[in-house]
Homo-oligomer: A and B are copies of this chain.
């Protein structure tokens, strides 16, 4: 990527973190980056283009991680552990990630929404779906609806980073520190796996 374009993306991401909102204007982004506002249009076409590029940049590591985990010679349970840690870590690194997706899907053009589905929602959802199927086939997971599972897992993992004010109150004045991140990975892993694994007499009745 062109250095000027990269600078604009850094400024956009930094502003979203500083302000705890995705509601930042192109002129604010240009000003923070020290880049002439006219160059936004040159590099990204419009705001949708810049936000899509930001999502692509931020999701790249996560997407690579998915393919890597899926191909590892480990059990579905182990893959799910890594996936849960991967999601919590992604939201930790990029706390505005879910809000950015939401913004693009709801306020972007239909073409933009389609693009977000193509390179973000689809691969993530397909990964989860395949992993759940593999887990059921291996006798490790009970059968769950992949869409509902996807929604609940992402909602739970994201929520630690969304409600910063409330969470500071709940998890302590230090906020979501690296230690809290680790605790949350541990919490979510136990909660999700404990609810997903078969082979337990105490399993709640249907």
Contacts and interface: CB of A to CB of B under 8 A. Distances in A.
B156 A152 contact: yes
Contact of A101 (B153, B166, B203): B166
Contact of A155 (B145, B159, B194): B159
Of A77, A159, A164, most buried by chain B (CB within 10 Å of CB) is A159
Interface residues of A, number: 58
A190 B194 contact: no
Number of identical protomers: 2
Contact of A148 (B164, B166, B183, B194): B183
Nearest to A163: B102
Contacts of A151: 156, 159-160, 163, 167, 170-171, 184
A139 B157 CA distance: 27
Majority SS at the chain A contact face: helix
Contact of A202 (B150, B153, B191, B199): B199
B203 A194 contact: yes
Contacts of A204: 77, 189-190, 193-194, 197
Given A152-B156, A200-B200, A201-B200, A105 B191 contact: no
A196 B142 CA distance: 16
A20 interface: yes
A173 interface: no
A188 interface: yes
A85 interface: no
A169 interface: yes
22 contacts: A101-B166, A117-B166, A121-B170, A145-B183, A147-B167, A147-B171, A149-B187, A150-B170, A151-B159, A151-B170, A151-B184, A155-B157, A155-B158, A155-B160, A159-B159, A191-B196, A193-B195, A194-B194, A194-B195, A194-B200, A197-B202, A200-B203
